[in-house]
Structure 1
């Protein structure tokens, strides 16, 4: 099996990386954080690059590319510490293509490609990452539906043009689309620890369009796509974290020599590199398993999230320790890498949650043969 990227995928990665290096430097990122964690100009630049329509079919105005290209892009954006919620747009496009009817696809896929934002709003209090925990309800209203409930920590929720919302319909989980400006829908935004934005979404009889009556399947697909994208983003963040740490070790001097010449510190840097490559391989694994049947896919994505969680924690903590006090100052980029890794570890379920998911899906064949 050939695991090398194609020339087109490499060109895509390099183009996004060049934009991030030149157009999204650390100082611009700090200004965006100070202004609230979202920049419309940055989003417009991502749209102009074609990234918002990356996986949207060409018939709907997109580029028609696949999950591997999405992974490549998210890794490059992670390396640039880009906060704008492109992953949510890619997630929404995947959900609409697999679960929405033709009318909803024709309405929203071109809008996503053109730069409108749709985000997943599924987290509720006391859910503890469980997808079956949902108290939001849906009731029939003529030919449509109305939703009532509250969703928390919705990524860039107050900057979204629409939300994908799971709700209980006749006791079963269904997935709906609620558009911004709908009466009874209000999103209150706030900053998250890595400088990006989230929001609490309150729905009080808000009109909605049905995406899928099989909400369990649709939500599981959405979260698995989100995990794969988060894994790719985390690999990019860790790659930059390691590069910054190696640069520091080779320039910071003690006793007249770079501290990178000390064997103990070199071993720790090597351990960081090993964890990064373990995470990278599991990110590839996660993306490639998106095409598998649901049980195998869910197991694979949980495995990937466990390894990525462990690697993110290790790389982030080692980077801060090797830098010393400067590693936690707001003026230095490594502290922002650490915050981003910490937040990504919690995204779509933390390491402990997914370790439980892996354990629950183990079969007799996973044991040691007698």
Structure 2
């Protein structure tokens, strides 16, 4: 199989890598990540103008990419710059709308692609512990409307999203795949309250509370009780995107560490000449290539049938979780004490790699899921 990117993807990667290196220096990223907004509206618009958001969607949905390798190219470049703009939720919510939305709802995709609308996934709950089917928020039919009640946790960029994709239970037990319904809920709907906070690895998230939120059938995404398949597919795309982002971050952490080993001297020679450190670095390079292989496998499987797709995605997330933590630990240790300092970008890459493991399911969760899907 030929794993070389097409010319269009190579051009996309070159354009995005150049833009990130020139316009998204670490000092700029740190300022944006620590700001009250948690992302830059100006840079988000420029990403849209470059076609980066459009590369995440199929031509039929107004984009010009949408394949697994298109997503991989974009998020690997974003990982190299620790970009905090809302690409992930744009991908997840956009894929859900593209899969199950009606014509009116699909009109939102154009606003996502041109960067004029911020959306957020409001699915996880305080006690869900990564399980996609564990939904306690309730939606009950009341005449010709729906009444939503519940709480959603760690909603990325929730303070600034104008539209939430909300999962609610309309039937079945709290852990059942059946009975989950998806709604597109406007941020300004009566009964929606948002409490924002800063994330440990930069950017912002929010807790979203739904208190007797009244919605019409126009807010339904797909059909009642049948939202799990759409949710699983869209979040699967998000999990894969995170894996690709991690590979980009690993590459930068590796490069920083190699440069440090070449320049830091002890006993009059570069510490990279010490055999023990060479062996540790060689092992680390092999692990990073293993992570890259898992992402390539998941990219190739993203358009396959459900079980093949989900097993490949969970396998990649398990590998990324294990290897990401290893890269973070080894690169900091090989730098010595300076590796922990806030001023050194490496510390932020290490922190992001650790947090990616915990986002949308950690390595233990995905290992268990991979095994369960093979039965």
Normalising TM by the smaller chain, what interval? over 0.9
- Structure 1 segments unaligned to the other structure (5+ residues): 364-370
Query: What does residue 78 of structure 1 align with?
Result: 79
SS of match in other structure, 2:207: strand
Are the counterparts in 1 of residues 58 and 67 from structure 2 also a CA contact under 8 Å? no
2:343 aligned with 1:331: yes
SS of match in other structure, 2:53: helix
| Displacement of 1:6 | 0.7
Which residue, out of 276, 283, 300, partners 2:295?
283
Query: What does residue 69 of structure 2 align with?
Result: 68
| Displacement of 1:34 | 2.7
* Aligned ranges 1:127-166 → 2 under 5 Å: 127-166=128-167
| Displacement of 1:63 | 2.9
2:212 aligned with 1:205: yes
User: Whole-Å Cα distance in 2 between the matches of residues 71 and 90 of structure 1?
Assistant: 12
Which residue, out of 234, 237, 258, partners 1:222?
234
Q: Relative to structure 1, is the Cα distance of residues 66 and 78 closer, same or farther in structure 2, using a 3 angstrom cutoff? A: same
- CA-atom RMSD in angstroms: 1.5
| Displacement of 1:29 | 1.2
TM-score by length of 1: 0.94
* Aligned ranges 1:158-307 → 2 under 5 Å: 158-171=159-172, 172-208=179-215, 209-212=219-222, 213=224, 214-307=226-319
SS of match in other structure, 2:356: helix
SS of match in other structure, 1:202: strand
1:26-77 CA deviation, whole Å, 9 max, x = no partner? 1101211331332212212212212222234446543354332121010001
| Displacement of 1:238 | 0.4
User: Whole-Å Cα distance in 1 between the matches of residues 76 and 199 of structure 2?
Assistant: 21
Query: What does residue 368 of structure 1 align with?
Result: none
2:33 aligned with 1:33: yes
Are the counterparts in 2 of residues 79 and 239 from structure 1 also a CA contact under 8 Å? yes
1:112-164 CA deviation, whole Å, 9 max, x = no partner? 11211222111111211111111111123554433211100111111212111
Task: Return 311-320 or 125-134, whichever deviates more.
Answer: 125-134
Query: What does residue 105 of structure 1 align with?
Result: 106
2:360 aligned with 1:348: yes
Task: Return 280-289 or 6-15, whichever deviates more.
Answer: 280-289
Query: What does residue 22 of structure 1 align with?
Result: 22
Between the two proteins, the alignment pairs up a number of residues equal to 362
Task: Return 227-236 or 95-104, whichever deviates more.
Answer: 95-104
User: Whole-Å Cα distance in 1 between the matches of residues 142 and 114 of structure 2?
Assistant: 31
- Structure 2 segments unaligned to the other structure (5+ residues): 173-178
User: Whole-Å Cα distance in 2 between the matches of residues 197 and 298 of structure 1?
Assistant: 28
